[in-house]
Amino acid sequence: MYVENASAPARKSVTVPGLHAMKAEGRKIVMLTAYDASFASQVEQAGVDIALVGDSLGMVVQGHRSTLPVTLDQMVYHTAAVARGLSATLLVTDMPFMADRDVSHALEAGARLVGEGGAAMVKIEGAAPHILESIHALTERAIPVCAHLGLTPQSVHKFGGFKIQGRAQDAADRVVSEALAVQQAGADLLVLEGVPTVLGERVTKALHIPVIGIGAGPHCDGQVLVIYDMLGITPGKRPKFSKDFLAGRHSVAEAIQAYVADVRSGAFPAAEHGFN
Ligand SMILES: Nc1nc(=O)c2c([nH]1)NC[C@@H]1CN(c3ccc(C(=O)N[C@@H](CCC(=O)O)C(=O)O)cc3)CN21
Ligand SMILES: CC(C)C(=O)C(=O)O
Ligand SMILES: [Mg+2]
């Protein structure tokens, strides 16, 4: 049974305005996925700023080869479980594949993830016209949005695999334009995934909203990883940008604390976790 830790020291709640202040003050933001209440509690205790219920759960929890089979019902279910394990950590949930196929579906999905699930913010992949409209519509209804650009896993079939994005000059310029567009549409946060380190730096400097990188180099305002990757338990090949923080340590708690400390200090990600 899951038991809440009533004796834990109180921590100030992480908020959307608080994240903006962190960027302004140059304090690194730490984000990590969680899919259930027990891991959420570990994430909370380690002082992670943002817990992400990622649609990566389709791969690491359900065993699919992509994130595409994940349903909105499943995301609501996992979000509600994670919410019960958190108190001060900001909770963000991914819009699953096609839940954001048009503005009205995106609004309905956002309402469920926040209303039933307890998320504080929803994350949406891409910058297509209907996505920009959805970011604006959600934000207008007081649902903050985290955009997600670069290697957007829901586009795996369009990319022909989980391939690094923005390597050519015109592709890099396109990512910068998309980043400015999602910020203009009202996004309060951006996850930038699988792009060269120089592009991670360029996007981070171009935006006033915080940029959280995963395989986007050390210059982003924060970092995110899939929790099973940083615990070294993902079966098969892990992405090059991840790191096993449990190796040489004695507990999940210690591993997450080390990840938090290394992101805050700038020790993670190192050059070997980035792309040129
Ligand atoms: N366990 C896990 N970790 C993740 O980071 C993750 C998921 N699952 N599922 C959803 C997406 C898919 N992601 C992935 C998966 C694989 C690579 C990968 O193997 N990339 C190659 C780079 C290939 C290139 O150079 O273009 C690598 O070597 O890391 C990258 C992102 C990121 N997300
Ligand atoms: C890898 C992160 C950014 C994500 O979108 C997920 O876990 O689904
Ligand atoms: Mg995702």
Q: Measured between alpha carbons, how far is residue 230 from residues 164, 176, 244, 260 in Å? A: 20, 28, 4, 11
Return the residue whose CA atom lies nearest to atom 5 of ligand 2.
54
The CA angle 11-213-216, to the nearest 5 degrees, is 155
Q: What is the mean pLDDT of residues 25-45?
A: 98
SS3 214: strand
Q: What is the mean pLDDT of residues 192-210?
A: 98
Q: Is the pLDDT of residue 8 over 60?
A: no
**Per-residue pLDDT tens digits for 164-193:** 999 999 999 999 999 999 999 999 999 999
- Residue 63 has what DSSP assignment? -
Residue 140 is a catalytic residue: no
pLDDT at 238: 87
d(CA 212, CA 31): 8
Q: Measured between alpha carbons, how far is residue 30 from residues 58, 103, 140, 176 in Å? A: 23, 30, 27, 23
Return the residue whose CA atom lies nearest to atom 23 of ligand 1.
163
Which residue is it, tokens 């586009």? 155
Return the residue whose CA atom lies nearest to atom 32 of ligand 1.
153
pLDDT at 166: 98
Contact 96, 110 (CB under 8 A): no
Ligand 1 mean position, distance from CA 232 (Å): 14
Which of 49, 99, 48 minimizes the C-alpha distance to 75? 99
In this structure, are strands 29-33 and 145-150 parallel, antiparallel, or unpaired? unpaired
Q: What is the mean pLDDT of residues 111-134?
A: 98
Partners of 212 in the beta sheet?
Answer: 191, 222
Ligand 2 mean position, distance from CA 12 (Å): 25
d(CA 72, CA 94): 9
Q: Identify residues whose C-beta is under 5 A from ligand 3, the ion.
A: 54-55, 94
SS3 210: coil
**Per-residue pLDDT tens digits for 68-94:** 999 999 999 999 999 999 999 999 999
Q: Is the pLDDT of residue 7 over 70?
A: no
Q: Is the pLDDT of residue 10 over 80?
A: no
pLDDT at 11: 86
Ligand 3 mean position, distance from CA 9 (Å): 31
Q: Is the pLDDT of residue 3 over 70?
A: no
**Per-residue pLDDT tens digits for 225-266:** 999 999 999 988 889 999 999 999 999 999 999 999 999 999
For the chain, where are the alpha helices, taking DSSP H only?
16-25, 37-45, 57-60, 72-84, 103-115, 129-140, 156-159, 169-185, 197-206, 227-230, 252-265
Structure tokens at 243: 């790191």
Cα end-to-end span (Å), the chain: 46
Ligand 2 mean position, distance from CA 25 (Å): 26
Chain-centroid distance of CA 99 in Å reads 17
Ligand 2 atom nearest the C-alpha of 193 is: 3
Task: Label residues 100-109 b or e (16+ Cβ within 10 Å = b).
Answer: beebebbbeb
> In order of start, what are the domains of the chain with their CATH numbers?
16-273 (3.20.20.60)
Write out residues with Cβ below 6 Å of ligand 2: 33, 52, 54-56, 94, 191, 193, 214, 224, 226
pLDDT at 23: 98
d(CA 55, CA 163): 18
Catalytic residue among 4, 44, 116, 193: 193
Task: State the average pLDDT for the chain.
Answer: 96
